[in-house]
Structure 1
Amino acid sequence: MRIRHRAAAFLLAGALLLTACGREPEPDPHEGMAYVNTGGAMEWIRPAEGVAVSDFAAEDFAKDAEGLPEYTGEAYDTRLGVDVSFFQGEIDWEAVAADGIEFAMIRCGYRGYETGAIVADEQFENNINGALEAGLDVGVYFFSQSTGAIEAAEEANFVLGLIEGYDIAMPVAFDWEPLEGSRAEDIDRDELTAGAVVFCEMIKDAGYTPAVYLYRYTGYYEYEMERLGDYELWVGAIADWPDFYYRHLLWQFSITGQVEGIDADVDLDMEFIPRPGDVEIAPPGETAEN
């Protein structure tokens, strides 16, 4: 009797093994997704199609003697810059340049988040003239609170009027940021993205390099990134390395920087310049496989 029971047990075990071997594996719920830092948490996202992916890696960054991030990889040269506005007050740009800053992204204007009025930044002319005279490369950004393409076009026209005649070597950026209680608080992804595209196309048609400034969360959840693949991205990500999933060549890594000639906290930025050679760097709108 014991032998029969043992034989039956072996047969049952074998049947279970065969059943397990023939069973389809459980599908991976995250297949085709990427695990990213959204700025407040690690989350799974579905990558946008046709948008170039960043090739930055944590191991390619260290801290320099002053505690600032330093790129140690082989694909890029880098430059240190600042982005400034009225809030930094009057700036001694010669001192800024002497402190190792090589470029500046300067706020040229903004749209009021309550009234919707378009206003030039009070320090724009002083900043752009001072930065250029000190030998810095200059770009500009407009702080948008547009509610869609029509208002974004108004903003682009305003910016083009302000920068006419200046040597703009860096991008001209559309900087829309979510603000609680603002007139643009309820804008949807399609309207927001349409505004960015219209702004960038008008800037490009005028002969400048357009860019979109965004936070990681804004890029992942508030823009339709597949429609921004043709433009440079300027990413605000306070971290030890630029971990935004999509390709970007401007990284805002600090909002509390200290720079000679600026008597206030200032945003610090790193520009990545692809090195010529064997490293394949996909241009905006293309992936490395294209």
Structure 2
Amino acid sequence: MTDKKRRICIIVLIIEIIIIIGLLAGISMTRSHSKGLQFEIPQEQRTVAANYAVQPLSEDNYWKFVNQRFILVYDDTGVLQWVKIDNAFGRNNYDFDSSLLDQGNYKYYTENGTITSTVGIDVSKYQGTIDWAQVKASGVDFAFVRVGLRGYGNGALVLDDTFDYNVSEALKQDLSVGVYFYSQAVSYEEGVEEAQFVLQQVKAYNINLPIVLDTEDTMDESARTGSLTPEQRSEACRGFLETIRAAGYETMIYANLRWIALELDLTQLYGYDIWYAQYANEPALPYQYKIWQYTNEGTVPGISQPVDLNIGFNGFGKKQ
């Protein structure tokens, strides 16, 4: 082994030891969007082998190392979890340091000073009656309309009251349109049932964006999905996704950071795109995703109620 390779191996070993020691010692953890952990970096130089010395590890380098290997996320009890990143899922290469632009009501993603993103909304009956002409004129490129949901109590399938109106009117304005379904499936078979329900509703419309599975926390302890393991939940998701794909439609998964890191078994979901939800200054998910939902309190002309706003990356949903 050459001296250079030996030095690299020693440095990597020291970094990993620091992380392990920090975990075992019970590093003081605080809720923080920017850091997640608070600790003191040792300042002295440490000799690790004869004639080999490693300079102090900086805090920035520490976090760079951590974020390249772990997702730091609070579970539903408020405990910070370190979740190993699954490299098989594919990472994004988005750079948010200086690439986000606030312009009017919307955010944009830029590359080399040029806007490369699109503006999207997602709507349901809670947005009331929408004036889609005003929505289009405001600069919105695409919309996802809720088809319906499965009740988290009795498990009944329910059509959204405004589905037909919203899809037909959005298409009339030449917007790119997709749909989503709020799932509460507890098995693969129920996932298939939900997909068949959606397919029956969308067959009358020429939608051109994916059919999305919305999987998230109900925030209700009595929910029928509350006791599912990540493996069981992902199996139910597969029932939906595989049925939609088999019918010839594109499909994707909508979820937030905690759900992706702790509540889904990603090994069952390779090959499906992500629509990622995080209401923050910039998203934290390391995996590849096509859409970022960045707020649920957006203001859009033609919509009287607060609405979810989204960034579509790489021209997602842009009409040619």
Over the residues paired in the alignment, what is the CA RMSD in angstroms? 2.5
Q: Which stretch of structure 1 is more off in the superposition, 253-262 or 227-236?
A: 227-236
Cα distance in 1 between the residues matched to 2:270 and 2:111: 24
Q: What is the 5 A alignment of 1:246-285?
A: 246-273=287-314
* Deviation digits for residues 222-264 of structure 1 (CA, Å, limit 9, x no counterpart): 0012322201100111122232111001111110000011010
Note if 1:34 corresponds to 2:72: no
Q: Which amino acid aligns with 1:259?
A: V
CA contact (8 A) 1:105 1:140 kept: yes
2:183 corresponds, among 135, 140, 144, to 144
Normalised by the size of structure 1, how large is the TM-score? 0.80
For 1:142-184, what per-residue CA distance to the aligned partner results, in whole angstroms no more than 9, with x for missing partners?
Answer: 0011112111110000001000031121111111212222111
How many residue pairs get matched? 253
Structure 1 gaps of 5+ residues are 1-20, 276-290
Asked whether the 8 Å contact 1:174–1:199 carries over to 2, the reply is yes
1:233 matched to 2:274: yes
From 123, 127, 133, the counterpart of 1:88: 127
Report Cα offsets for 1:180-213 as digits up to 9, x if no partner.
2211111111111111112111111111111000
- Structure-2 separation of matches of 1:211 and 1:183: 23
1:46-61 correspondence runs (5 A): 46-61=84-99
Distance 1:243 1:205, change over 3 A: same
For residues 54-100 of structure 1, what are the alpha-carbon distances to aligned partners after superposition, in whole Å with 9 as ceiling and x for unaligned? 11122143332337432122598211010000111111101100111
CA–CA distance in 2 between the matches of 1:25 and 1:119? 56
CA distance in 2, matches of 1:118, 1:201: 19
* Residue 115 of structure 1, CA deviation: 1.2
- Asked whether the 8 Å contact 1:106–1:138 carries over to 2, the reply is yes
Counterpart among 143, 146, 171 of residue 132 in structure 1: 171
> What residue number does 1:177 align with?
216
SS of 1:230's equivalent in the other structure is: coil
Report SS of the residue matched to 2:111. Answer: coil
Aligned equivalents of 1:213 and 1:78: distance in 2?
19
CA contact (8 A) 2:108 2:119 kept: no
Residues 1:105 and 2:144 are matched in the alignment:
yes
Give the SS at the match of 2:104: coil
Say which structure, 1 or 2, has more relative contact order (CA 8 Å, 6+ apart).
Answer: 1
Letter in 2 for 1:145: Q
Deviates more, 1:107-116 or 1:161-170: 161-170
Q: Which moved more, 1:60-69 or 1:87-96?
A: 60-69
- Hey, what does 1:165 align to over in structure 2? 204
CA contact (8 A) 1:35 1:43 kept: no
- Superposed CA deviations along residues 128-149 of structure 1, whole A, max 9, x for unmatched, are 0010001110000000111121
Which stretches in structure 2 are left out of the alignment for 5+ residues? 1-9, 21-64
Q: Say which SS state the counterpart of residue 206 (structure 2) adopts.
A: coil
Larger Rg: 1
Q: Which amino acid aligns with 1:186?
A: S
Q: What is the rounded CA distance, in whole Å, between the counterparts of 1:273 and 1:86 in structure 2?
A: 29
In the alignment, what sits opposite 2:195?
Answer: 156
The residue type paired with residue 71 of structure 2 is V
Q: 2: distance between equivalents of 1:77 and 1:167? A: 26
With structure 2 as the length reference, what TM-score do the two structures score? Answer: 0.73
